[in-house]
Chain A
Amino acid sequence: MDTLPARPATDPGYNFGYLDEQTKRMIRRALLKAVAIPGYQVPFGSREMPLPYGWGTGGIQITASIIGPADTLKVIDQGADDTTNAVSIRRFFARVAGVATTERTAVATIIQTRHRIPERPLSAGQILVYQVPQPEPLRQLEPREAEARKMHALADYGLMHVKLYEDIARFGRIATSYNYPVMVNGRYLMAPSPIPAFDNPKMHRMAALQLFGAGREKRIYAVPPHTEVQSLDFDDHPFKVWRADRCCDLCGAPDSYLDEVVTDDKGGRMFVCSDTDHCAERRGAGHRGPLAGHALQEIAEGKS
């Protein structure tokens, strides 16, 4: 883990942050508009990046447009810093922006994420950049973009309420466990990206700025600091979060989101924090879970 952020040399063949300054300016304009209209999807001239569409190009373009030499960048995928695509994106920015990178949530100024919000509450001045595969929360209900935009314009979200109601009628509960739709600032329905519903409450009145980039779909949206973000629900079926009903086997955290790691082919399982920095920090502070120090720890940390 980085303790003292190292500053690698940038690739001289590319502009700082890879994108040219005109493109950055175009993206910053879209970001300003997105911040001004929380939850509204702003179309932008998304560029091809040297990473494939669907692999974080929207988040990368936002990060490239806002990052400066003084920033410290953290990149996570599934909550972990050491997943291959997070490693690849972090290396990309080390190469084209020469910025310091870190795995510590607390010291990062920009955190680019896929599928998770860190467990540690973010503070004012930090920016959370989400990679978004599908920015349109209505897409599975209405595949036509022109129609979906009309529904947003009219704040006509009955279709989504009907979908949630049908879940309750069929299953007795809302059967959406990730990418759970939210209302932003009481106006726009928004896809929080495929974070688990467990993370939704963290978006509400978050002190950090939240930016969302969908490169392939060419949309940017934002939630400014301290904005109201409500998960859709009904009076008699209030929104509830779920997690595996146990504590982290490594650090003992009783309240973090857990990954289930299969340890053998006989039903063996262990549960560990999905947020690797959170887990390491707790262990560093002396917290111990039931399997701490066990050989299985190596499996959970991907060292096997």
Chain B
Amino acid sequence: MYVAVKGGETAIANAHAFQAEQRRGDAAQAPLTLGQIEQQLGLAVDRVMGEGALYDRGLAALAIKQARGDLVEAAFLVRAYRTTLPRFGYSLPVDTARMTVLRRVSATYKDLPGGQVLGPTFDYSHRMLDFALAADAGEGGGGEAPGAPLAEAPLDPAMPHVTALLDSEGLIQPEPPAEPDAPPPGDITRDPLLFPAPRDLRLQSLARGDEGFLLALGYSVQRGYGGSHPFVGEIRQGPVAVEIVPEELGFAIDIGDIDLTECEMVNQFKGSRLRPPQFTRGYGLVFGWSERKAMAMSLVDRALRAGELGEERRGPAQDEEFVLYHADNVEGAGFVTHLKLPHYVDFQSELELIRRLRAEAEARLARASAEERAAADAFATAAV
């Protein structure tokens, strides 16, 4: 009965206790350690860091454990914690050209300076359940740790971006560094998003957006809802140094590395009245090893540039209010699930209204002639 949503504190406390019991599961199983989650569910940790917008593997692992593996709930836990953290300042832009590349692939060139580097990937693996893994788990994690052979020579440290190669020929729309007196990039975690939103804010929103939502939008672009004929110029993954300039020092210091996935999508552009034909860019940058999301993000970023490139907006992925307002799964999950909160006051007013409207409609019908009623009945029968 609906009044069960009343009655308070004990019920809530009991629900939390039940949740805690369910989270732990069968006590005969060893509890998960954060280290296990961090090491063995690393891609889940990456997703939670990205959508939680906080680079901290330990906290993300804790959130996953606390959320019983619900990654949207885990991202929410991380976000709620993130807002309580003091803001010391902003890092310098990370330079992905100086990434310690562990994976780097390009679909636009067979070979290129620095080479194609497959790195760790699910690509080309046959998606067959590996029952050997199940056996390992049964034996309490015994068995030899798998190892990968080392290359004979280190990778070429010079690993230029593919788009830089196109840029040198003037074939791709340039992305000049910001003017020195340009305003610094905005910050969607400090200021509300206003529309039309510039690209810096769009990219920030997409970077913390829901992977599933971006995937669906990116897919819709490929299927013709605002198509832009993309090629993967390059995907690169690996650690990048983060630098800050402390005020008291006045020069940059390295505060550590973060793993990033970067995707640069190269898109056809036939040119417009104002611009010659050239390739255009879509950009994706995500925490951790989140290749699918980085690719989807770069498709959606390009689609959202319809306005500045003078393209007709034909698909939902090109509509910035639609995309940016609905990409955030913490906002979306909250608002969708709030529907289970009591709404009986509003519902009551709707009940009163619909009863009144029905009474009035019935009175009107009663006044109608028998003939008209018969006609209406006949019509209704035909419609059914």
Contact = CB atoms under 8 A, between A and B. Distances in A.
Interface of A: 14, 18, 20, 23, 43-50, 52-55, 57, 77-80, 82-85, 87-88, 91, 114-116, 133, 143-146, 171-173, 175, 177-179, 194-198, 216, 218-219, 242-244, 257-262, 274, 299-304
Contact of A55 (B196, B338, B350): B338
6 contacts: A83-B5, A84-B6, A84-B8, A145-B195, A196-B345, A304-B3
A275 B80 CA distance: 32
Interface stretch (B81-89, B100-108, B281-289, B366-374): B81-89
Given A178-B346, A218-B193, A242 B5 contact: no
Contact of A216 (B1, B8, B334): B334
B221 to A, nearest CB: 21
Contacts of A177: 346, 349-350, 352-353
A299 B3 contact: yes
Nearest to A243: B352
Interface string B72-95: 000010011011101000000000
A50 B338 CA distance: 14
A20 B86 contact: yes
B1 A262 contact: yes
Contacts of A303: 7
A84 B352 contact: no
Interface in B53-86: 76, 79-80, 82-84, 86
A259 B1 CA distance: 14
Contact of A78 (B82, B325, B342): B342
A190 to B, nearest CB: 18
Contacts of A243: 352
A145 B341 CA distance: 26
Nearest to B195: A146
A8 B342 CA distance: 28
A52 B333 contact: yes
Interface in B203-250: none
Contact of B83 (A48, A83, A173, A299): A48
B338 A242 contact: no
Given A52-B76, A177-B353, A304-B1, A116 B345 contact: yes
B290 to A, nearest CB: 21
A57 B349 CA distance: 25
- Looking at B7, B8, B195, B345, which has the most chain A CB atoms within 10 Å of its CB? B345
A59 to B, nearest CB: 13
Given A48-B80, A146-B196, A146-B321, A301 B6 contact: yes
Interface string B1-38: 11111111101100000000000000000000000000
Nearest to B86: A20
Contacts of A197: 349
B190 interface: yes
Contacts of B341: 55, 77, 85, 114
A62 to B, nearest CB: 15
Given A55-B334, A175-B357, A82 B345 contact: no
Nearest to A53: B334
Nearest to A175: B353
A216 B345 contact: no
B342 A52 contact: no
B331 interface: yes
A261 B348 CA distance: 10
B333 A302 contact: no
Contacts of B325: 145
Interface of B: 1-9, 11-12, 76, 79-80, 82-84, 86, 189-196, 321, 325, 330-331, 333-338, 341-346, 348-353, 356-357, 360
A304 B5 CA distance: 11
A221 B63 CA distance: 34
A48 B82 contact: yes
A23 B334 CA distance: 22
B345 A274 contact: yes
A87 B12 contact: yes
B192 A115 contact: no
A44 B192 contact: yes
Contacts of B350: 177-178
A54 B349 CA distance: 21
Given A48-B82, A87-B9, A115 B346 contact: yes
- 4 nearest A-B residue pairs (beta carbon): A302-B6, A53-B334, A54-B338, A52-B334
Nearest to B3: A302
B345 to A, nearest CB: 5
Given A44-B192, A83-B5, A133-B335, A178 B330 contact: no
A57 B334 CA distance: 10
A45 B192 contact: yes
A50 B191 CA distance: 19
Contacts of A178: 345-346, 349-350
A302 B357 contact: no
B359 to A, nearest CB: 11
Given A77-B341, A144-B321, A300 B3 contact: yes
A80 B345 CA distance: 10
Given A53-B334, A262-B1, A45 B190 contact: yes
B80 A50 contact: yes
A54 B335 contact: yes
